[in-house]
Amino acid sequence: MYATDGKKVILAVDDLPSNLIAIQKILEPLFDVRLVKTGEQALALLKRDKIDLVLLDIEMPGYNGFELLALIREDPDLAPLPVVFVTTHASRSLIRRAAEAGATGYVVKPFKPSLLLQKVLEALDMDTPTGDQNNVYTLWSPEKS
Give tens-digit pLDDT for 13-26: 999 999 999 999 99
Angstrom distance (rounded) from CA 128 to CA 110: 20
Q: pLDDT exceeding 90 applies to what percent of the chain?
A: 74
Q: Is residue 119 within 8 Å of 136, Cβ to Cβ?
A: yes
Angstrom distance (rounded) from CA 14 to CA 85: 10
pTM of the model: 0.84
Domain 9-144 has CATH 3.30.450.190: no
Q: What is the pLDDT of residues 53-78, one digit of tens each?
A: 999 999 998 899 999 999 999 999 99
Angstrom distance (rounded) from CA 67 to CA 63: 6
Please tell me the predicted confidence (pLDDT) of residue 124: 93
Average pLDDT taken over every residue of the chain: 86
Angstrom distance (rounded) from CA 139 to CA 114: 19
Q: Taking the CA atoms of 76, 87, 65 and 32 in sequence, report the sign of the dihedral they define.
A: negative
Confidence band for 4, pLDDT divided at 50, 70 and 90: low
Partners of residue 36 on adjacent β-strands: 13
Every domain of the chain and the residues it spans:
9-144
Confidence band for 138, pLDDT divided at 50, 70 and 90: very low
Q: Is residue 94 within 8 Å of 135, Cβ to Cβ?
A: no
